[in-house]
Amino acid sequence: MASKDRSITWAALVGQRGYTESARIRLQWARYWLPRIEDLMEIICSDETTIQNASSNPNVYLFRRSSEKYRKDLVNRKDHVKPSISLMYWGGIWKTGRTPLVLMHRDENAPRRGYSSISYQLALEEGLLPLYDGTRRFQQDNAKIHVSNSSMTWLMEHAIELLDWPPHSPDMSPIENLWSLLKARIRSRYPYLNSLLKTDANIEELKRCAQVVWRDIDQSLIRGLMESLPNRLHAVIRARGWYTKY
């Protein structure tokens, strides 16, 4: 999943053999698809993201006078709150449409009751299968629950044409930008979510808000993100396959 991919600090990995190989694969992939960019822009781009009732890393800036530098109410900001509700969602986008925003369910049999290949396949069954007509390639990253034998068999059994995706490449995925926008709009539109405690009613409220904002995103914005793929490939080529800040 993208959240795991984003944990990679590329600058710290320069020279390490495994990530040098990943950069080589990314460069080859970008060079292969750039002449075929019209086909690439028609894919279904998918991913998971965590939506929380409060940001654990809000962008809060505070300007103080020199006489105020020791005031505790200005130094110890209360904006950095720990989210009390955290939900995992799956979604997919393409130039002319989007899937539902699908709530993922934890696997009771997985370690620490986490998300497993079964969780992923259930999300695809709900969100992808009713819409998939075989005319578009399906993109997913290389998270373990995506590329497990179980998930790959499931995709093959349902005749999902899978796009081969390079490793460690959230910078090339337009849906990453959409997740950031979705979360920002949820926080802006429903600021009261920040103060909610974890109750069944409040979990349902966060679910409701997430769905409303997802549905209200204009398709022209999604189209623009998908049409940014040529620029993303050019950026990877300029970076010789290394991670970009696109």
Q: Would you say residue 211 lies in a domain? A: yes
Q: Would you say residue 244 lies in a domain? A: no
Question: Distance between CA 25 and CA 30 in Å, rounded?
Answer: 9
Q: What's the confidence (pLDDT) of residue 12?
A: 45
Give the CATH number of the domain where residue 85 resides: 3.30.420.10
Look at the chain and report how many structural domains it folds into.
1
Q: What's the confidence (pLDDT) of residue 72?
A: 57
49 has a pLDDT exceeding 70:
yes
124 has a pLDDT exceeding 50:
yes
Q: Would you say residue 138 lies in a domain? A: yes
Taking only Cα atoms into account, the Rg of the chain, rounded to an integer number of angstroms, comes to 20
Q: Would you say residue 243 lies in a domain? A: no
* CA 34 vs CA 24, 37, 38, 84, 233: distances in Å: 16, 5, 9, 43, 7
Q: Would you say residue 149 lies in a domain? A: yes
Q: What's the confidence (pLDDT) of residue 55?
A: 80
Query: For 170-224, how does the pLDDT look when each residue is reduced to its tens digit (9 = 90+)?
Result: 999 999 999 999 999 999 999 999 999 999 999 999 999 999 999 999 999 999 9
Prediction pTM value? 0.84
Q: Would you say residue 246 lies in a domain? A: no
Q: What's the confidence (pLDDT) of residue 1?
A: 42
Residue 60, C-beta contacts closer than 8 angstroms, at least 6 positions apart: 77, 79, 80
- Are the beta carbons of 94 and 119 closer than 8 angstroms? no
Mean pLDDT estimate for the chain: 88
108 has a pLDDT exceeding 80:
yes
Phi, psi of 55 (to 5 degrees): -80, 130
Residue appearing with tokens 């709530």: 103
Query: For 52-73, how does the pLDDT look when each residue is reduced to its tens digit (9 = 90+)?
Result: 998 865 554 445 566 655 665 5
* CA 244 vs CA 23, 63, 168: distances in Å: 11, 31, 11
130 has a pLDDT exceeding 70:
yes
Q: What's the confidence (pLDDT) of residue 73?
A: 54
Query: For 15-41, how does the pLDDT look when each residue is reduced to its tens digit (9 = 90+)?
Result: 455 678 999 999 999 999 999 999 999
Q: What's the confidence (pLDDT) of residue 246?
A: 73
4 has a pLDDT exceeding 70:
no
By C-alpha distance, which of 89, 130, 98 is closest to 226? 98
10 has a pLDDT exceeding 60:
no
Q: What's the confidence (pLDDT) of residue 3?
A: 40
Question: Distance between CA 50 and CA 48 in Å, rounded?
Answer: 7
* CA 17 vs CA 4, 5, 21, 88, 140: distances in Å: 20, 17, 6, 33, 24
Q: What's the confidence (pLDDT) of residue 213?
A: 98
Q: Which domain holds residue 216?
A: 2-238
- Are the beta carbons of 185 and 236 closer than 8 angstroms? no
